[in-house]
Amino acid sequence: MFKNTLDNKRYYTLNYFYKKKFNSKVFKVSLNGGFTCPNKDGSKGTGGCIYCSPSGSGDFAGNIKDNLVKQFYEVRDIMLKKWPEAKYIAYFQANSNTYAPLEDLKEKYESVIDLPGVIGLSIATRPDCFTEEIYDYLEELSKRTYLTVELGLQTIHDKTLSFINRNHTTQEFENCYKELKKRSINVIVHIINGLPGETKEDMIETVKYLNNLKIDGIKIHMLHVTKNTKLAEMYEKEKFHILSEEEYIDIVISQLEYLDEDIVIARITGDPVKEDLIEPKWLLKKFCVLNDIDKEMVKRDTYQGAKLKH
C-alpha cells in the first residue's frame, strides 16, 4: 500500500485527503455565482481564454438563474443519492470568483458557508483578481471554515499564456500565490496539458516550478476543444496536434514523478460536456483514462515523487 491512498493509487488522492482530514466522504457542490473575468469584460481583454466555454468552466455548476442557496440544494440532493453520509464543500466554480467588490463576495460566500453539512468553501479564480482587502477577508474566512483557493495558472510559459489569451504572467501568479500562503490559505493550482506549441518538457517544467513553490494541491487537465470557443475556430482552420491518450498518460506520470508526495492530486483528467466536445473523444472515457494511468504506473513501477531527491 502506497502512502496517502485508500485504494493503492500511486499518488496522493483528494478522496484520501478529505477522509483523513474530515473522517468522512466529502464532495463538492458546484455553484455559479454570476461572476465574470477581467479578460472577458474588457478590463484586460475580451473573449476570455481561447479554450473557455461560454459558461466560464462552469458547465457542471448550478443554474445561474437561481440564488446560491437554491443552487446548492439542487446540486447537493443529486450528489446525496450516491453518498448519503457525506459532507460538502461549496465550490464557486464558474469564471473568476474573486472578481467583484468585497461586499459582493461576502454576500455570496456567507450565504452558503453555514448551510447544514457544509464544512468548507472552495473558490476558483485567477491570480489577477485580488485586492489587499480581499486577501484579508479570505484570511479571516479561512479561520471560520475550511477554505481553498483554486488558482488558475495553466502553464508557466509566458509565451503560451499570451497565446491562450490569459492576460496575466507567471510572475503575477507567483505574487498572488505568495500573498495567499502568507495568510496560511490552502491553494490548489490548475494546469493544462497539451496547450498548442508546448512540448512534454515544457509541461514537466510547469510542475517542477509548482513543486518548488510547495503548493498544497494541483488539478491537471487535458486541453480539449469545445464548441463555441476561440480554440474551436482555430482548430477548424488548422488541425493542430492534440495529445493522444497514450501521450497524455505518459506526460501525467512524468509530472507526478516530479511532485512531492505531500501535494494533493485533486484532479488528473477533465470532464468535458459530451455534446460540446470536438476533440479529443477519448477524454469522455474518464474512468478508462484513470485506470490506464494506474496500470501504466504499475508497469513502470513508479509513483508520485519518484524523481525527487529526499
| 59 band by pLDDT with thresholds 50, 70 and 90 | low
The answer to whether domain 14-300 has CATH 3.30.450.20 is: no
Q: What is the mean pLDDT of residues 275-297?
A: 94
**pLDDT of residue 149 exceeding 70:** yes
pLDDT at 274 over 70: yes
Q: Is the pLDDT of residue 53 over 80?
A: no
The stretch 16-33 carries a mean pLDDT of: 93
Backbone angles phi, psi at 151, to 5 degrees: -105, 120
Task: Give me the half-sphere count of Cα atoms (radius 13 Å) on the Cβ side of residue 186.
Answer: 20
Write down the pLDDT at residue 47.
77
CB under 8 Å to 281, separation ≥6 — which residues? none
* Pair 192, 223: CB distance under 8 Å: yes
% of the chain with per-residue pLDDT over 70: 96
pLDDT (0 to 100) of residue 167: 85
Can you tell me the mean pLDDT for 265-270? 93
pLDDT of res. 60: 59
Check whether 40 has a pLDDT greater than 60.
yes
Cβ(242)–Cβ(213) below 8 Å = no
- Residue 57 carries which side chain, given as an amino acid letter? S
Q: What is the DSSP pairing of strand 277-279 with strand 225-226?
A: antiparallel
pLDDT for residue 270 is more than 90: no
pLDDT for 271 equals 83
What are the residues whose beta carbons fall under 8 Å from the beta carbon of 22, sequence distance 6 or more? 87, 119
Q: Give whichever of 36-40, 76-80, 301-305 has the largest mean pLDDT.
A: 301-305
- Higher-confidence position of 41 and 21: 21
Q: CA-CA distance, 176 to 140, in Å (whole number)?
A: 17
Q: What's the CA gap between 200 and 88, in Å, rounded? A: 36
Residue 62: the pLDDT is 61
Q: Are 193 and 249 in contact (CB under 8 A)?
A: no
- Claim: this prediction has a pTM higher than 0.85: yes
Q: Which three cell numbers stand for residue 289?
A: 483514462
How high does pLDDT run on average in the chain? 92
The pLDDT of residue 52 is 83
Q: Per residue in 159-199, pLDDT tens? A: 999 999 888 999 999 999 999 999 999 999 999 999 999 99
* Per-residue confidence (pLDDT) for residue 310, from 0 to 100: 56
Q: Which strands form 186-193's sheet, in the order they lie side by side?
A: 26-31, 87-92, 118-125, 146-154, 186-193, 217-222, 264-267
Domain boundaries, the chain: 14-300
